[in-house]
Amino acid sequence: MARLLLSKATLTAQRKQLAAYRRFLPSLEMKRQQLMVTVKDCQQTLQQQQQILQRIQQRVAEQYPMLANERIELQDLVVIRAVKKRQTNIVGVWIEEIEQIEFDCAPIAIMTRPHWVDGIQRLLKQALETEIKRLQQQKILARLEAELLKVTQRVNLFDKVLIPEALANIRKIQIYLDDKDREAVITSKIAKGKRAAQSTAHGESLTLSEASI
């Protein structure tokens, strides 16, 4: 750690730094609050997506118990053709959001497949779409949480380290300079007293000399 130079120039520099820290801290704190709200919203969205998947699984188990039959072929009923994403800026953080998901759904042959397959196909499509969005939402949440951690660390750095350190430095320098000013005043008074005493002594010496003449 660099040694603190106790001077008026350092005092001015420390005061400027303190002003900059105090000016910058509110914007950092505001960003932290915004990120906290955004992270909470993202967590709620993720929870809702998980609940949708659970409901689909429960519905399939209740309404389509025949799927337990391994001889029933449901392969390629729904195939993901493309997932389109877009870049979005949220609270200064660039993330990728799902814009569109395209599927290829196999045609249902009524004569060769059971009547309930079309219902399964719709549920499968919904489940795939929700799962893709859920996985992307997890990535978004991780990105936002990482940014929140970084901003929180910066807030703590300013609030608990840099600002208190600048205040302590200013106080230390100010005390030192005040002491030096008092020393200068005292030294000046002592010097003035000595000069006055010397002047008086010199005057008395001249008077005695004149008297002896």
DSSP 17-63: HHHHHHHHHHHHHHHHHHHHHHHHHHHHHHHHHHHHHHHHHHHHHHH
Q: Is 1 domain-assigned?
A: no
Answer yes or no: is 146 within a domain: yes
**pTM of the predicted model, to two decimals?**
0.77
In the predicted model, is pLDDT for residue 202 greater than 60? Answer: no
82: left (phi over 0), alpha (psi -120 to 50) or beta: beta
Within-domain flag for 200: no
Quick check: is 205 in a domain?
no
Over range 29-33, report the average pLDDT. Answer: 97
Per-residue model confidence as pLDDT tens digits over 176-190: 998 887 887 777 677
pLDDT, tens digit (0-9, with 9 covering 90-100), for 123-146:
999 999 999 999 999 999 999 999
Q: How far apart are the first and last CA of the chain?
A: 72
Query: DSSP secondary-structure letter at 66?
Result: G
Please tell me the predicted confidence (pLDDT) of residue 150. 97
Residue 86, domain extent? 23-161
* In a domain? residue 125: yes
Within a domain: 181: no
Report if residue 171 sits inside a domain: no
What domain count does the chain have?
1
Domain presence at residue 168: no
